[in-house]
Amino acid sequence: YKEGTEVTATAKVKDESKYEFVNWTVDGKEVSDKAEYAFKVDRDVTLKANFEKVAADPKPETPKPEDPKDEDKAIQTGDNGVSPIIPLAGLALAAGAAVTVLRKKED
């Protein structure tokens, strides 16, 4: 380019999933952190576009269960009508049901 010419340099990443634009440098000094850099030519320079490898997404953590407040805790009372029926020694009992066994008193 001739001295005094306005120039716009544009950095483009071929694979954005692997690399991202960092900055433009001249003689190791940053001159812009924008992908499009406009400047006026005033001397011979080597303009360098710098990119860095994109870090792989870390595996998302499984959220830890919060300790619910006492008023938020569910309390099961009695049979909720959808409990499975469990056969036990010839009796059909709903889960959570109370059973009282009476024995005949022997004389």
The answer to whether residue 1 is domain-embedded is no
Give dist(CA 50, CA 67) in Å, integer: 47
The answer to whether residue 35 is domain-embedded is yes
The answer to whether residue 96 is domain-embedded is no
Top pLDDT among 90 and 78 is at: 78
| Domain count within the chain | 1
pLDDT at position 96, please? 41
> Which structural domain range is residue 18 located in?
6-53
pLDDT at position 100, please? 41
The owner of tokens 């009695």 is 78
The enclosing H or E element of 85 equals strand 85-88
pLDDT digits (tens, 9 = 90+) for 21-61: 999 999 999 999 999 999 999 999 999 999 999 887 666 66
pLDDT at position 60, please? 64
The answer to whether residue 49 is domain-embedded is yes
The answer to whether residue 97 is domain-embedded is no
> What does pTM read for this prediction?
0.51
Give dist(CA 69, CA 63) in Å, integer: 18
The answer to whether residue 30 is domain-embedded is yes
